[in-house]
């Protein structure tokens, strides 16, 4: 069984064919799905999907790009829902910071404050984190080292920074998706074998980061098989065996998945 641990099925691009998307995924062995909380405006849609489909779960969180709209009270409205399995995606993203120094530093401070508050939320409710890291590995590492609790979490779309491998000791897992299949993903391909197999997770980040050979098209959970195939090649282990390992990793981290 495969669990897509990160797919934005609440995205408007799935409104017209969600049933077909789920059907194709199930035909490829993908039986469960986690919708990360990223945009507060789509969280209600994620909750509705989890209530309609037994195989869909969700997380509550605010992406660093939306840090200005963060509300802990809003997240706490949904965090005790029986289908809520994590907090996030939260983290730091310095890719699109303002150019002006004071504005840049102010946004960094805001992102850090919102990230830390979501970490505290995860500890309060004993839920793992789904962490987004872009151009911010050092700051994320330091914050997770200082603040994260025993529940740990997953580094979504692991960026191949070896510094972050040290977070294994803090019970963190590494989400691997379509980027691994990209022709320009040499750094991730080289670092991938250094990730302990008992810390690997599968994800798509659908509708984004579609794996080869469908790059440029809308991503969907059925394409996890393409990522699994590349992981199997790099791990030098049969797909079926690796699939079992990753499934067990997934349910060990996301303990509320039935």
pLDDT at 39: 84
CATH of domain 2-253: 3.20.20.140
Q: What is the pTM of this model?
A: 0.97
Question: Is residue 258 pLDDT above 80, yes or no?
Answer: no
Question: Is residue 223 pLDDT above 80, yes or no?
Answer: yes
Question: Is residue 240 pLDDT above 90, yes or no?
Answer: yes
> Confidence class of residue 225 from pLDDT cuts 50, 70 and 90?
very high
pLDDT in tens, 40-99: 889 999 999 999 999 999 999 999 999 999 999 999 999 999 999 999 999 999 999 999
Q: What is the arithmetic mean of pLDDT over 111-140?
A: 98
Mean residue pLDDT of the chain comes to 97
Of 32-46, 107-121, 161-175, the range with the lowest mean pLDDT is: 32-46
Distances (CA, A) of 42 to 11, 20, 127, 183, 248: 7, 21, 21, 33, 29
> Confidence class of residue 38 from pLDDT cuts 50, 70 and 90?
confident
Q: Is the dihedral of CA 153, 159, 160, 166 positive or negative?
A: negative
Distances (CA, A) of 225 to 14, 80, 174, 247, 255: 20, 32, 17, 13, 23
């Amino acid at each position: 069984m495969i669990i897509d641990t990160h797919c934005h099925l609440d995205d408007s691009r799935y409104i017209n064919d969600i049933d077909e998307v789920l059907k194709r995924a199930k035909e490829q062995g993908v039986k469960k799905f986690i919708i990360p909380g990223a945009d507060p405006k789509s969280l209600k849609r994620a909750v509705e999907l989890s209530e309609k489909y037994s195989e869909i779960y969700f997380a509550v969180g605010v992406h660093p790009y939306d840090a200005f709209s963060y509300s802990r009270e809003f997240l706490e409205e949904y965090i005790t829902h029986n289908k809520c399995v994590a907090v996030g995606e939260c983290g730091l993203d310095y890719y699109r910071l303002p150019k002006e120094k004071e504005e840049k530093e102010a946004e960094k401070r805001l992102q850090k404050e919102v990230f830390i508050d979501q970490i505290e939320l995860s500890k309060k409710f004993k839920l793992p984190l789904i962490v987004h890291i872009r151009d911010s590995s050092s700051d994320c590492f330091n914050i997770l080292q200082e603040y994260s609790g025993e529940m740990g979490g997953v580094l979504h779309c692991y960026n191949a920074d070896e510094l972050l491998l040290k977070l294994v000791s803090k019970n963190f897992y590494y989400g691997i998706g379509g980027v691994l299949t990209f022709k320009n993903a040499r750094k991730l391909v080289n670092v991938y074998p250094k990730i302990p197999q008992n810390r690997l997770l599968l994800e798509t980040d659908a509708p984004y980061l579609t794996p080869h050979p469908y790059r440029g098209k809308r991503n969907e959970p059925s394409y996890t098989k393409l990522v699994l195939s590349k992981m199997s090649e790099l791990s030098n282990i049969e797909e079926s065996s690796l699939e079992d390992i990753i499934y067990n990793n997934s349910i060990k981290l996301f303990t509320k998945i039935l």
